[in-house]
Amino acid sequence: MRLKYFMRGLGSGIVLTAALAALTTKPQISDAEIIERAAKLGMVSKEEAGLDEGDLKELSKNAANDNKDTDNKEANTNDDNKTDETSEDETADKEASKDTSLSDKSSTDGADQKPVETKVEEKAEESLQKIKVTIKSGMYSYSVSKALEDAGVIDSAKEFDQYLIKHNYQRRIIPGTYEIQEGDSYDKIAEIITK
């Protein structure tokens, strides 16, 4: 008798589970629909990006090397900070001595100093020019940093890449052509390329 009720319960449980599974399954999405949804979200296929297998391998190697460089640089940062503090103190002392010598000269030539400052400021503004940089779809943050370094916008691609990673800009870079002023800070450049 007990076996009879056990088999009845087991059978009804299997039937009920099969019915629920049949009613709640989602329809299978085809590959074309997956690609269409990915395109709507902004993903780019390797054909659209103009990259071949060699480029993809190179980009992945660069990303792996960047991660290793970042880890090594973080370990060395503590040692560098100590030396940077002493060098900053030395440069501050040198600048202070230059300022005092300039102030002595300016007290004798007070009338001539104002036109000189405006000429220097005008030359500085003329020397800073806007540079056009194109960021292609599918570029990693290091590739973008390297392109900015090659264009002359920044001095070090590694430092800028680390800045992007540290402030979580590396995933928000938007492809396009940007005009960036030559002396802009990392913060301003990052804001421009992530808008």
pLDDT digit string (tens) for 1-28?
689 999 999 999 999 999 999 888 877 8
> Start-end ranges of CATH 3.30.1490.480 in the chain?
128-195
Mean pLDDT of 84-107: 49
Given a cut of 60, is residue 87 above it in pLDDT? no
pLDDT (0 to 100) of residue 71: 56
Could you tell me the fold of the domain covering 128-195? Dna Ligase; domain 1 (3.30.1490)
Which residues are CB-neighbours of 136 under 8 A, at least 6 positions away? 49, 50, 175
Q: What is the pLDDT of residues 122-146, one digit of tens each?
A: 555 556 788 888 888 888 889 999 9
Cβ atoms within 10 A of the Cβ of 138, count?
A: 18
pLDDT tens-digit map of 52-85: 666 667 767 776 676 666 555 555 554 444 444 5
pLDDT more than 90, % of the chain: 15
When pLDDT is averaged across residues 140-155 and rounded to a whole number, the result is 89
- The C-alpha atoms of residue 81 and residue 61 are separated, in whole angstroms, by 29
